[in-house]
Chains A and B, each alone.
Chain A
């Protein structure tokens, strides 16, 4: 069986999360991805952990190793005219270019679709930028946190009753992941368009817009009701909260009335649960201060897994507040073979999160670990582009590769 995208050639000019994740999603489904990094320095994610034994090493960053599976790696300084010339030759032969070069840097190096499409008219070029390639903020800077704020999710998270605490971000570069996943959708769309109508094109993906697109029902509160959804409001229905159990936290989640009734049964029908003040989900929210003490007393005496299984047996959607250890040791995830072991020549063998989806006919698979810095320079520049040894040495001396 071959991967669904095994006939595709992609060039990635990506740093940190967004463009590397988009290209990983396609590489793991069989596409050939040539990833271009800065000579001597490499992708910024190489400087971020986690690192084994906390020893910072550019070949051992867990973030980099995860995001760059199945890719070939070359180093090339596209900001030099010689480097850009080589970049153009790589792109001339590619189906897709995915990059997250910021618009001011695109201007500086002359990275435009028009220029590349002259060499390769059916090219699809996907630009993933914080604020979009057009618009008044195109030249603004951004990091993951500032985008999680500016796109709208951040204001939704915090501790009700504690307005003095700042709106709280979520763990782990989520703006980058959403920018990348939405870019993969747009890129696949353009690929389908090209397959069916024969033309390449430029796609402009804004990470800010990707985040504004996933705000549940909260954005519409303003256009529909002229009210604002924030982290400070009390929940309209209860219980929907993380609570402390004997050996960790569990998320109590009773949205429908029958779920609460079944949870009460799981608890052995305590008298307090039948009090008038807890008679429906809205009243349970109004009286949450009382309920949280009574329910909390019960939950504290249970183990997470026992309560989870007992509740799920009655179709109540409780869930553990999983630690990373819980995930790695989960009997369910183990049975499904979710985590995969990947051996890397420098970083060693570790378990990584696996396939986001399982395809009947076209496998998701790890064919090779993430590249070391410049690992495939000779194969790509020498073997594929035909640069001879002398030329490669010269480019290396100049710092172009």
Chain B
């Protein structure tokens, strides 16, 4: 008999959209919760309209690889909140849910009639988690937060960049999944408390604060020494070499795009540097006074990097990393999506998910970053089509009759 999943039987009323919120409920779906997305065709989740699409063609709301990645294993119902009947459907759903999650700006759920005080009236032990950009309180509570702007706001950008250059970005909306993963943890901490005490609660996040939690090294440099850390490329004050190095045949052209071929190399101590020197065929450099000790390697880091780059430039990324790792040197391919899709370690660990989707077919998607020995989690289904489960949820979960359902649909309530 199949073992039960950790969150089996836990129902999540999922009001989330874009990335942070869906990344939160994705974790809960991975762990076995029944996640029911509340969507609308009148204002679909923006990720349903963003690329990538099969062959680059936007053919509708179910084609986005972005949406399909972060909504695996969930259900979708559509409700048009222009109609009070839609609000009633959502209220009935909340009554039979354990958790309500949203990542709207502060105040939006209240305006929809789903503030915590209202939701608690529907179910006394409900858990409600709000992942807002700025938090529910404070002078900027009504400010608008967008994923790309949260990275500089949090402080990552001012500390990230090439030496002497302006602040740089992370390259993606890093604060979003960070908020999502912490939000999922919070849902379960609240579920744990409820299981012990019977008590639900409200949990509030400022995505900004949740991101600053990852920057303690920077904030403590300021609070301890009243100064800002300097941007210094890929280098590290305590390790050298510590960088990315160009490989053979760089850059490569793939379907008109320039593709990077770099590898990342770090020596954490002098012994690792000695091993690296042997791998690159320069064993004499291990004892060279310019490089033997960390302090010397830091003083001569330009020269050190040039020597390593001369070696990597004659190697394919994958084979260079293998040579280094076989000698006990930390290294990795600077992996892009094409490389990742066939990466030997991820593939051998069955990280990737291949589920049939009615409109995009079988596509390779990322799975979950853990394996459990006792309750094997797996992605149970591809991401839902918009409104795919409206009938199923209204009939089976919310006990609407077929007639009532037809009337709601006819009136546009289920758009």
Please give, as numbers and ranges, the residues of chain A lying within 8 Å of B225 by CB-CB distance. 50, 52-54
Q: Could you give, for residues 107-135 of chain A, a 1 whenever the CB lies within 8 Å of some chain B CB and a 0 otherwise?
A: 00000010000000000000000011111
A189 within 8 A of B: yes
Whether the Cβ atoms of A226 and B370 lie closer than 8 Å is no
- Rounded to whole angstroms, the CA-CA distance of A29 and B193 in the bound complex is 11
Q: Could you give, for residues 302-328 of chain A, a 1 whenever the CB lies within 8 Å of some chain B CB and a 0 otherwise?
A: 000000000010011111111111111
Whether the Cβ atoms of A319 and B53 lie closer than 8 Å is no
Question: A146-B331, A249-B166 known; A332 and B220 CB under 8 Å?
Answer: no
Whether the Cβ atoms of A356 and B157 lie closer than 8 Å is no
B115 within 8 A of A: no
Please give, as numbers and ranges, the residues of chain B lying within 8 Å of A376 by CB-CB distance. none
Please give, as numbers and ranges, the residues of chain A lying within 8 Å of B75 by CB-CB distance. none
Whether the Cβ atoms of A191 and B369 lie closer than 8 Å is no
| Chain B, range 156-172, C-beta contacts under 8 Å to A | 156-162, 165-172
Whether the Cβ atoms of A362 and B375 lie closer than 8 Å is no
Q: Which of B171, B176, B372 contacts A153 (CB 8 A)?
A: B171
- Rounded to whole angstroms, the CA-CA distance of A209 and B343 in the bound complex is 11
Question: A182-B181, A224-B54, A232-B260 known; A209 and B242 CB under 8 Å?
Answer: no
Whether the Cβ atoms of A216 and B52 lie closer than 8 Å is no
Whether the Cβ atoms of A189 and B52 lie closer than 8 Å is no
Q: Which of A145, A154, A226 contacts B236 (CB 8 A)?
A: A145
How far does the Cβ of A50 sit from chain B's closest Cβ, in whole Å?
A: 4
A214 within 8 A of B: yes
Please give, as numbers and ranges, the residues of chain A lying within 8 Å of B52 by CB-CB distance. 217, 220-221, 224-225, 227
Whether the Cβ atoms of A149 and B332 lie closer than 8 Å is yes
B62 within 8 A of A: no
Whether the Cβ atoms of B325 and A140 lie closer than 8 Å is yes
- Rounded to whole angstroms, the CA-CA distance of A190 and B170 in the bound complex is 32
User: What are 13 A-B pairs with beta-carbon distances under 8 A?
Assistant: A4-B192, A153-B171, A170-B174, A220-B365, A225-B55, A227-B52, A317-B143, A317-B144, A324-B229, A331-B139, A333-B212, A352-B223, A357-B203
Q: Could you give, for residues 1-16 of chain B, a 1 whenever the CB lies within 8 Å of some chain A CB and a 0 otherwise?
A: 0011111111000000
| Chain A, range 275-299, C-beta contacts under 8 Å to B | none
Residue of B nearest to A311 (CB): B144
Please give, as numbers and ranges, the residues of chain A lying within 8 Å of B229 by CB-CB distance. 50, 171, 324
Whether the Cβ atoms of A220 and B68 lie closer than 8 Å is yes
- Rounded to whole angstroms, the CA-CA distance of A50 and B215 in the bound complex is 12
Stretch at the interface among A70-78, A173-181, A381-389: A173-181
Question: A151-B335, A230-B260, A350-B220 known; A29 and B189 CB under 8 Å?
Answer: yes
How far does the Cβ of B396 sit from chain A's closest Cβ, in whole Å?
A: 23
Whether the Cβ atoms of B221 and A203 lie closer than 8 Å is no
Besides the contacts A195-B192, A196-B6, A230-B336, what 6 more A-B pairs have beta carbons closer than 8 Å?
Answer: A150-B335, A157-B160, A213-B367, A321-B158, A324-B229, A360-B201
Please give, as numbers and ranges, the residues of chain A lying within 8 Å of B54 by CB-CB distance. 224-225
Question: A178-B178, A185-B185, A212-B366 known; A150 and B332 CB under 8 Å?
Answer: yes
Q: Which of B135, B146, B168, B215 contacts A336 (CB 8 A)?
A: B135
- Rounded to whole angstroms, the CA-CA distance of A319 and B364 in the bound complex is 35
- Rounded to whole angstroms, the CA-CA distance of A65 and B224 in the bound complex is 12
- Rounded to whole angstroms, the CA-CA distance of A151 and B161 in the bound complex is 20
| Chain B, range 320-347, C-beta contacts under 8 Å to A | 325, 328-338, 340-341, 344-346
A142 within 8 A of B: yes
Whether the Cβ atoms of A227 and B257 lie closer than 8 Å is yes
Stretch at the interface among A81-89, A159-167, A266-274, A392-400: A159-167
Please give, as numbers and ranges, the residues of chain B lying within 8 Å of A166 by CB-CB distance. 233-234, 243-246, 262
- Rounded to whole angstroms, the CA-CA distance of A168 and B165 in the bound complex is 12
Q: Could you give, for residues 254-265 of chain B, a 1 whenever the CB lies within 8 Å of some chain A CB and a 0 otherwise?
A: 110111101111
Q: Which of B68, B233, B351 contacts A209 (CB 8 A)?
A: B351
Question: A188-B188, A208-B346 known; A181 and B181 CB under 8 Å?
Answer: yes
| Chain B, range 202-237, C-beta contacts under 8 Å to A | 202-206, 208-210, 212-225, 228-229, 233-234, 236-237
Whether the Cβ atoms of B223 and A356 lie closer than 8 Å is no
B248 within 8 A of A: no
> Which A residues lie at the B interface, using CB under 8 A?
4-5, 7, 25, 29, 47-54, 62-63, 65-67, 113, 131-137, 140-143, 145-159, 163, 165-174, 177-178, 181-186, 188-193, 195-197, 199-210, 212-233, 240, 242, 244, 249, 251, 253, 255, 312, 315-328, 331-333, 335-336, 338-339, 350-362
Please give, as numbers and ranges, the residues of chain A lying within 8 Å of B191 by CB-CB distance. 192
Whether the Cβ atoms of A328 and B349 lie closer than 8 Å is no
- Rounded to whole angstroms, the CA-CA distance of A204 and B351 in the bound complex is 12
Please give, as numbers and ranges, the residues of chain B lying within 8 Å of A148 by CB-CB distance. 264
Question: A66-B216, A143-B266 known; A196 and B4 CB under 8 Å?
Answer: yes
Q: Which of A133, A224, A244, A325 contacts B228 (CB 8 A)?
A: A325
Whether the Cβ atoms of A219 and B340 lie closer than 8 Å is yes
- Rounded to whole angstroms, the CA-CA distance of A49 and B268 in the bound complex is 15
How far does the Cβ of B345 sit from chain A's closest Cβ, in whole Å?
A: 4
How far does the Cβ of A49 sit from chain B's closest Cβ, in whole Å?
A: 7
B69 within 8 A of A: yes
- Rounded to whole angstroms, the CA-CA distance of A350 and B258 in the bound complex is 47
Stretch at the interface among B85-93, B147-155, B403-411: B147-155
Question: A209-B346, A357-B205 known; A159 and B168 CB under 8 Å?
Answer: yes
B50 within 8 A of A: yes
Please give, as numbers and ranges, the residues of chain A lying within 8 Å of B243 by CB-CB distance. 145, 166
How far does the Cβ of A178 sit from chain B's closest Cβ, in whole Å?
A: 7
- Rounded to whole angstroms, the CA-CA distance of A244 and B157 in the bound complex is 13
Q: Which of B162, B210, B263 contacts A168 (CB 8 A)?
A: B162
- Rounded to whole angstroms, the CA-CA distance of A1 and B259 in the bound complex is 55
Residue of A nearest to B134 (CB): A332
How far does the Cβ of A284 sit from chain B's closest Cβ, in whole Å?
A: 15
- Rounded to whole angstroms, the CA-CA distance of A339 and B68 in the bound complex is 37
Q: Which of B4, B169, B366 contacts A213 (CB 8 A)?
A: B366
Q: Which of A147, A157, A221 contacts B170 (CB 8 A)?
A: A157
How far does the Cβ of B15 sit from chain A's closest Cβ, in whole Å?
A: 17
How far does the Cβ of A231 sit from chain B's closest Cβ, in whole Å?
A: 6
Whether the Cβ atoms of B329 and A141 lie closer than 8 Å is yes
Q: Which of B69, B138, B145, B224 contacts A333 (CB 8 A)?
A: B138
B273 within 8 A of A: no
Q: Which of A52, A132, A227 contacts B255 (CB 8 A)?
A: A227
Residue of B nearest to A348 (CB): B224
How far does the Cβ of B45 sit from chain A's closest Cβ, in whole Å?
A: 13
Please give, as numbers and ranges, the residues of chain A lying within 8 Å of B259 by CB-CB distance. 228, 230
Residue of A nearest to B362 (CB): A223
B289 within 8 A of A: no
- Rounded to whole angstroms, the CA-CA distance of A208 and B332 in the bound complex is 10
